[in-house]
Amino acid sequence: MPVIDLNSDVGESFGRWTLGDDAALMPLITSANVACGFHAGDPRTLRDTCGAAARHGVTVGAQVGYRDLAGFGRRFIDVEPADLVADVVYQIGALQALAAAAGTTVRYVKPHGALYNAIVHHRDQAAAVVEAVRVVDPGLAVVGLPGSAVLELAAAAGLRTVREAFADRAYTPQGTLVSRREPGATLHDPDLVAERMVRLVTDRVIAAVDGTDVAVAADSICVHGDGPGAVELARRVRAALEAAGVTVGAFA
């Protein structure tokens, strides 16, 4: 029977500002993309989030991004590759220390927001992310969009790659994500999302915005944790997958 990982972005609160319901998400997911302080998150939040993941047996990953707290990491930054290597190394190292203090370890790296989208095609930045992972710990997996430059370069560097699909995002006919600036980029209907994810896992296709089917092979499904309906969406997706005979389990 098929096996799929269910991940979510967590640890994105900052000081007195709370984003998402991480406590409610933890029992539903199998991998946690924990912010690393550049796009969101503060040290205590990140340590507490890693501790919650450890208590629920959830795998911890470092969600690295551009240095962009004000823009939540959703603005492209034309950063020099050497600077990006250092930034990603810094973020992974910070989360490794906080995870160790919370009794767990970082097992993978997943870029966030604009960086995630940029390294689908931006080979210089993709190479910088891969180099950062390689020099910190070549045992870390790299999560990215199927067919992306970052997964291609990570595989060439001998790193484990994990193909990701998004439960709550619309897809273009080319298999990329519809820009958040476009209407309909984010999906909110739990029944529709759950149905799409069952079809994705069992048939390896997803309906694009123009109604055509796009082939998508995924090892992990992301439910964004910052939306108001994130917990219910994750619950419905997991329930639908399990009812279809799919095993929900961590890839790492």
- pLDDT value at position 172? 93
Q: List, for residues 10-55, the tens digit of each pLDDT value.
A: 999 999 999 999 999 999 999 999 999 999 999 999 999 999 999 9
Question: pTM (2 decimals)?
Answer: 0.94
d(CA 76, CA 7): 23
Please report where in the chains the tokens 């690295």 appear, as a residue: 64
Using alpha carbons only, what angle is made at residue 204 by residues 200 and 205, rounded to the nearest 5 degrees?
75
Contacts of 202 by beta carbon, 8 Å cutoff, 6+ apart:
2, 244, 246
Q: Quickly state the pLDDT bin for 163 (edges 50, 70, 90).
A: very high
- pLDDT > 90: what percent of the chain? 89
